Structure 1
Amino acid sequence: MNLPLYEYSLCIALPLMLFFGAYFLLAPTPDKAIFSNYLRSRRIMGCALLLLAANYAVHFFFEVRLRNVNAAILMNLSTYFLCYWLFSSALTTLLDRFYITRRRLRFHLSAWVLFTLLSGVILLGLPEGAAQRAGLTVMAAWLVGYGLWLARRLILAYRRAVRLFDDTHSDNIGAYIRWMSVFTWWAVIFGVGCGLLTFLPDRYIFLWILSSVPFYIYLYCSYMNYLLLYERVEQALEEELPAEEEPAAASDDPESPDDTPDREARPLHTDLAARLSGWIAADGYLRPGLTIRELADALHTNRTYLSEYIKATGNGSFRDWITDLRMEYAKRHMLRHPELNITEIAEAAGFVSPSHFTRMFKTREGVSPSNWRKLQGEDGPVL
C-alpha cells in the first residue's frame, strides 16, 4: 500500500465528511412548519454522513486496513449497507413524507443486522479459500442488489412526483427536484464502485476515499440549493397529493369521472370544449403559476375530469398543453410587436424566465426566438 497517499486522501475526506454531517444535523432552517420534513430528511442524511465519517476515522486512526484486511472489509460492507438505507430514506422522504414507517424501519434494520452477521461469519469465521471467496461474492451481490432496489424505489418516487407536477402545474416544478435523480444515479455508480474497491488490492484503496470528495460536495450543494426551492415543491405536493385520494363520488359536478363514461359523454365534452375555448380566447393561460385546480374552479368542472380531457385532446400533460398555448402566443406577440425584446416577450407570454422561454422555444422550433423572428422577416431587438 502507498501509505502516504492513503493517509493524505483520508485527511482530505474526513474533515469534509465531519463538516457536512454536523451541518446537516445542526444547521437551522426557516422557522416554518412546512420545513419540518426537509429538516428530517437532512438530519437522516447527516447521520449517514457521520456514520461514513466514523468509518473513515477508524481507518485513519486505527489503521484497520493494515492490521486486518478482513475486518476492514467487514466494517465497510456493514457501513455501506446501512448508509444505503439512510441515503435513500433521506431523499425519498422529501417526496413522500409518509415513507418512513416503523415497519420499514424494523425490516431494514433487521436486514442490516443479518447482513453484518453473515458477512462476519464469512470474513472472520471461514478460512481463506474458495468457500470464503464464494461467500464474499454472495454478500457483494446482496449489497449491490439492495442498493439498486432502493435506488429504483427512489427513482419511481421521483418520476411520480414529476408526473404529478406536469399534470397539475403550468410551471416546471419538476426541474426543482431533478437533482435527486442526478444524485441517485451518481450514488448508484459511486456505491457500487465503493463496494468493488473494498475488494481491490491495498494500493488502490485511496481511490475509494478520494472518489467520495466530489460526491459529497455535490450532495451538500444540492441540499443547500434545494432549501431555496423546497417550500414551493412541498406546497405543490400538499395541494395535489390529497386530491388524488378524494373519492370521485364526493363530487356533485355532473362531469365527475365517477359517472358512467357513455352517459351523455359527447355533450359534456362539447360543453367543456366551449368553456375552454372561451378561457383560451381570454388569454387565461398567460398567468404565471397557473394550476389545473385553479383552471377547474374557473371552468366550474371536476379537476380529474379536466386533466383526463386535456390529456386526451392535447396529447400531453397539463404543463405541455399550457406551454404550447404560451408558445403560440409568444410567436404572435413577436410578429405583432417587433419593438419588444425577448425578455418582454417571455414575460408577456407567462414564462418564468427568459432563459426558460428560450430553451423551450429552441426545443420546439429548432432555433432561438430571435433567429425565428428574423426568419419571419422581422428585425426586432434581441436579448
Structure 2
Amino acid sequence: MEERTFNLRLARGFIAGAYFMLAISLFLSFFYAENSDPKHIEIITPAVSALQSMFFTYTLLSILQPTYVTRRQILWHTTIIAGAIILYLATAFTVENYRLVVHIGVFSYICLLFFYTHLFIKKYALSLRQLEDYYDEDEQGRLSWVKTSFIVALSIGIIASVSTYFPIWIDYWFVISYLVFYTWFVIRFSNYVTKIDFYLSATTHKPEQTITIIREPEQLRLDRSAENDPAKEAKLRNSLEQWVLDGGYTRGDISTEEVAELLGTDLPSLRSYFRDRMPCDFRTWRIELRIRKAQELIADCPEVSLNQIAQQVGFVTRSNFYLYFKKITGQSPTDYRNQIAVGK
C-alpha cells in the first residue's frame, strides 16, 4: 500500500513539475521575449523542454506501471538529466560560439525523446497486456487517453524546443494550445485517481508461478482424468448457467480470477473447461452474451441511449461496444435499432 501511495504522490509531483516548467516557458515568452537577449532564450529553452519531458514521461509511466518507477530509479535519472543540463548551460553561457552548443543540446534532447518514446511504448504494451490478461477484456479504450497524452506531449516538446524561432503570434497560439491540453490531462488524471484500484489490481498482480514436474505416463493419465472429472464439470456448468441468469457477465470491473472464485473453481480449471468443452474462450463467450443482452435492451427499451445500454451490459467504452456489436450481428447498434423501429 505504501508503494502504491508513493507512486500516486510521485505522479502528482511530476505533474506539478511539468506545470512549473511550462510556467517558466510562459514567463520567458511573454515577459522577456522582446527585452531580453535572444541568446538566453535559445539556450534555456532546450533545458526547460528536457525537464518538462522527463516530468511528463514519468507521470505516464507511474500510471502505466506503478511498480516500475522507484525512488532509486528517479534519483539516478534525475541526477543524470540535471548534471547534463548544468553542463550544457555552463558551456553555452561561457563559450563564444553558443549556437553550436545549443544545436548539440537540441540534438541531445531529441535523443532523449527517442529514449522516452521507446520506454513508453514498451511499458504501454506491458500494461495493456496485464489489464487484458487480468480482466479478460479489450482494455485499449481505458488506456487510449494515456497514449494520446504521450503523443500530444511529445509533439509539444518538439515544438517547444524550436519555439523561440517562431513569430510571436504563432507562439501565443502554441501556448494556448498546450495550456488546453494540460488542463484536459489533469481532468483525465483526476478520473484515473478515482479508479486507481482497477489499474493497480492488474498491473501489480503477480500470477502464481507454475513449477514443471516431470511425470510418468500413468501419472499424466490420472491427472487428465482428474481435470476432466464429470462431477466437477457438471458443477461448473451449473454455476455458469446460474451466473448467466444472475447477469454476472454484465460486470466490467471484475477479473477472470474473481469470476472463477464466484463459480466455485479456479482460473486454470475455468480456462480448461472453455478450451475443452466450449466452442470459444471465456472472453469471446462473455462478449457474445453482452451483445445478445444489448439486442434485447435495444428492442425492449427504445428510449434508452445506446451509450447507457453499452454500460448496462458491461462495456467500458463505446468504441468496443460498437465494434463487437457489428462484428457479431453484422449491423451497427444504430442500424439495428432503426431496423427494430421499422419492424414495429
Q: Same fold (TM over 0.5)?
A: yes
Which residue of 2 is the match for residue 379 of structure 1? 343
Q: Does 1:178 align with 2:144?
A: yes
Q: Does 1:194 align with 2:160?
A: yes
Which residue of 2 is the match for residue 86 of structure 1? 55
Amino acid at match of 2:75: R
Amino acid at match of 2:124: Y
- Counterparts in 2 of 1:195 and 1:281: CA distance versus 1, 3 Å: same
1:186, CA displacement in angstroms? 0.9
Q: Does 1:146 align with 2:89?
A: no
1:292, CA displacement in angstroms? 0.4
Larger mean CA deviation between 261-270 and 113-122 belongs to 261-270
Contact kept, 8 Å, 2:15 with 2:55, in 1: the verdict is yes
- Counterparts in 2 of 1:222 and 1:323: CA distance versus 1, 3 Å: farther
1:150-229 → structure 2 map (5 Å cutoff): 150-169=116-135, 174-198=140-164, 200=165, 204=167, 206-229=169-192
Which residue of 2 is the match for residue 341 of structure 1? 302
- Counterparts in 2 of 1:303 and 1:236: CA distance versus 1, 3 Å: farther
Contact kept, 8 Å, 1:170 with 1:291, in 2: the verdict is yes
Report the aligned-residue RMSD: 4.2
Amino acid at match of 1:128: N
Amino acid at match of 2:267: R
* Whole-angstrom distance in 1 between the partners of 2:314 and 2:206: 27
* Whole-angstrom distance in 2 between the partners of 1:35 and 1:183: 22
Contact kept, 8 Å, 1:361 with 1:368, in 2: the verdict is yes
* Whole-angstrom distance in 1 between the partners of 2:317 and 2:97: 64
* Whole-angstrom distance in 2 between the partners of 1:173 and 1:348: 14
Contact kept, 8 Å, 1:65 with 1:72, in 2: the verdict is no
Which residue of 1 is the match for residue 19 of structure 2? 49
Which residue of 2 is the match for residue 324 of structure 1? 288
Amino acid at match of 1:120: L
CA deviation map 1:55-102 (0-9, x unaligned): 3324433x2665322321221111111111111122221233334433
1:304, CA displacement in angstroms? 5.7
Larger mean CA deviation between 292-301 and 348-357 belongs to 348-357
Amino acid at match of 2:262: A
Identity of aligned residues (%): 16
Which residue of 1 is the match for residue 331 of structure 2? 367
Structure 1 unmatched runs, 5+: 1-32, 250-257
SS at match of 1:244: coil
TM-score (norm 2): 0.74
* Whole-angstrom distance in 2 between the partners of 1:375 and 1:240: 40
Structure 2 unmatched runs, 5+: none
The number of aligned residues is: 328
Amino acid at match of 1:166: E
- Counterparts in 2 of 1:362 and 1:112: CA distance versus 1, 3 Å: same
1:191, CA displacement in angstroms? 0.9
Q: Does 1:60 align with 2:21?
A: no
- Counterparts in 2 of 1:281 and 1:301: CA distance versus 1, 3 Å: closer
Q: Does 1:115 align with 2:94?
A: no
Contact kept, 8 Å, 1:351 with 1:357, in 2: the verdict is no
* Whole-angstrom distance in 2 between the partners of 1:101 and 1:51: 22
Larger mean CA deviation between 39-48 and 273-282 belongs to 273-282
TM-score (norm 1): 0.68
CA deviation map 1:188-224 (0-9, x unaligned): 11211221334x3xx5255345313222322322322
Which residue of 1 is the match for residue 259 of structure 2? 295
* Whole-angstrom distance in 2 between the partners of 1:270 and 1:183: 48
* Whole-angstrom distance in 2 between the partners of 1:143 and 1:36: 28
Contact kept, 8 Å, 2:260 with 2:270, in 1: the verdict is yes
SS at match of 1:341: coil
1:4-19 → structure 2 map (5 Å cutoff): none
Q: Does 1:235 align with 2:197?
A: yes
* Whole-angstrom distance in 1 between the partners of 2:103 and 2:300: 69
SS at match of 2:116: helix
- Counterparts in 2 of 1:269 and 1:153: CA distance versus 1, 3 Å: farther
